[in-house]
Amino acid sequence: MTNSPKPGVAQSPDTRSHSAAPSQSKPTSLTITEIQAILPHRYPMLLIDRIIEIEPKKRIVAIKNVTANEQFFNGHFPNYPIMPGVLIVEAMAQAGGALLLTEIPDRDHKLMVFTGIERAKFRKPITPGDQVRLEVEVIVWRSNAVKMQGKAFVDGKLACEAVISCALVNR
């Protein structure tokens, strides 16, 4: 008896035949320690806590857990804490930076910097206790620059979106 698939039935990844050449496996999620090995940001400017999905050169999903201990809440705003919009956009850019820098072999000698922010819209305040899901999709990918569409969700509702352009520069 053979293990041939039935016509019109998709095979699961575990039963498909693979080519003879081994493929180099890339991670599909990253812990905070692994993120810190990729991004140069540190407290208080590291704004992503975990990466839960990665599709190389296409898409990344990261998580930011917002706590009352965030430094920016001291002044933004007393008695009505709201995460600054610029930091939400920065968190999306950091997620995109992690996606880009996972593809760069000499990333220890590179930085990713903003070159543009377009169509930023802030739809819902982000406050202490929120868990922000950052979804970033690549629009244009070049070896030294990337343009991405970022979206931030809280409880499944869109809180922020922006088109972000970044360039890779030498440190």
Whole-angstrom Cα distance, residue 50 to residue 48? 6
Q: How many whole angstroms separate alpha carbon 149 and alpha carbon 161?
A: 7
Read off the tokens for 46: 């590291």
**What's the angle, vertex CA 68, arms to CA 89 and CA 49, rounded to 5?**
50
Residue positions annotated with a catalytic role: 76
- Residue count of the chain, please give it: 171
Instruction: Find all residues with CB under 8 Å of 51, minimum gap 6, and list them.
Output: 29, 30, 34, 35, 60, 61, 62, 63, 95, 98
